[in-house]
Structure 1
């Protein structure tokens, strides 16, 4: 789709704005480094090198996102079984607790202009939705976060059984909030080709470029959250 055709589809007052979560509303990084300073002893705890674990973890990406695996411990058990290794439930529990703690870190504090954007959109009567490719432990802190009260609904891929950029997840989000895709906006950092998926589903896509600046796209780039308002005025 050309830029001119995209511009024609900008709703001056959208029925809803949908957001990605990681690297859009929250970030795991600061000054180019992970805030968690994570380091897991996969070798000592599981009997796997970090390289081997990374390869096995990546091979399960789609199944992790669509809820095939119930939770993080299930993924670990599957990796160990595939490698013919015994499962040490104590090690699995320790790694799970560490990952839960790691994934809580990005939820506090929330960037002030992100919260301001959400407040101003709601003041205009615009519904707010979340569409996140995630696993259970990655959003364990969502309900207790500052973000949650601003949203009318949230779609987590592991619960939905589908993930971005599949059009089905965007259409599900619209159905649950009783809005039309063509009257909605999607904002995300562009990972998982989520912007293209939103576009195909009929939404107006904007590229959140304030955290992750490494992904390229043909969609309008927002250098800061509040820039979205300029497109909607």
Structure 2
């Protein structure tokens, strides 16, 4: 696996580089701005890019715009976005299209070395990783699109967004796998998600919610 990192904090950039290299992942570029990232993608051909949302020169959306450009022009490259805070609009923009190979994590997740490396590998393999804090804050602020889900189904949905299997959810919530399967099917049914052959169906419910939360409400 070949990874390019775009992070303006030298300490964090070096820390991520060492974490990945210690886990046997090749870091082909480590740069401090979006322009450097785009150049690195062209020359180093990474499989995954890890990019900060806010970078020089304005520290607003440079990293996000680079990520969106990559998703459009180089969809074969997986993208893992890091953010200091939960920024719902950014997550929605990034996740509104093809979901394969996409991740959105808060920076403090990097301290969980094993979890962070697992997320990088999951995104590289075509998976989708959403930070549980992103999910929980969005759910807390915008309940309307999910008003038909029960509290337990909301808990299961949050676990699904973290990429956990039914057995993983069952262990986390201390319930049976059959109960989890029932909750998952109820979530899909209530949100109108028809059966499909996709490894990412388990997070589509969360993405649908994020998108609908950005739609202005009438009245």
Q: Same fold by TM (over 0.5)?
A: no
Higher helix share: 2
Tell me: higher relative CO, structure 1 or 2? Use CA pairs within 8 A at least 6 residues apart: 1
Which protein shows a greater Rg?
Answer: 1
Task: Report the TM-score, using the length of structure 1 for normalisation.
Answer: 0.29
Query: TM-score, normalised to structure 2's length?
Result: 0.30
